Structure 1
């Protein structure tokens, strides 16, 4: 089994989520189950069934995070010396060739990707188009609305 790459910052974020699930949310749902049990008949107790369902989601997320973190290859982006070449962990500023503005993305592991924060997965079409390119290169990216061209304005590596 290959080890999935993840940034050190992303691994820390996921460990914090795991810790919150274990120390805050898990005890809270156990308490909610206990309170719902105290209300009597469990067959028609919606609070009990909702709390049990929530417990299932929490336990599933805990198992998923533990498994992913145990198999992840943590990469310290600040230690990379790739220059202006785009590799895993790079923060890339792109300018649309038709003049619609700039976008900034960091290429991260699949588990930590979040487009709202500008974190794109290494397996995404955008990241695959950027990997190996240099600042100043023009890349064509296939999008649902058609092919779009971007110029790589800058490439930086920050922890």
Structure 2
């Protein structure tokens, strides 16, 4: 009876490969890296301490394209990295009910407007053009730079983020 024996050369070669192999570049997955989403109130407090451009995601709970953005575009590693480095990112539900402060005004939820009512902050930020998802870019003084409606793929959103970050 013959025994099958692996050559010691093969075992040494495999050991060397594992011993000297360089670790692969670590890829950020959606579970590891996330956009640092703030509430409107948190962003306003942060702006007082350290003014920075804002990215406001105006959404609703029933919006399918909003959910798709959350599941795909907002989990893209490049989008996450650029967003966190250059903007205060805010998620704002256009149908939320708590009062919000904006530029010295108290804005409230209004029933009977839109499908289920709408918050005045969403109306102001979107310049009365309600559609979801919509994204609003604000400068360091909270002035509107751009309103960008509609679903965006990661590459389209990243290009837009880069262009808005460069605006003075």
Q: TM-score range by the shorter chain?
A: under 0.3
Greater gyration radius: 2
TM-score by length of 1: 0.24
TM-score by length of 2: 0.23
Higher strand share: 1
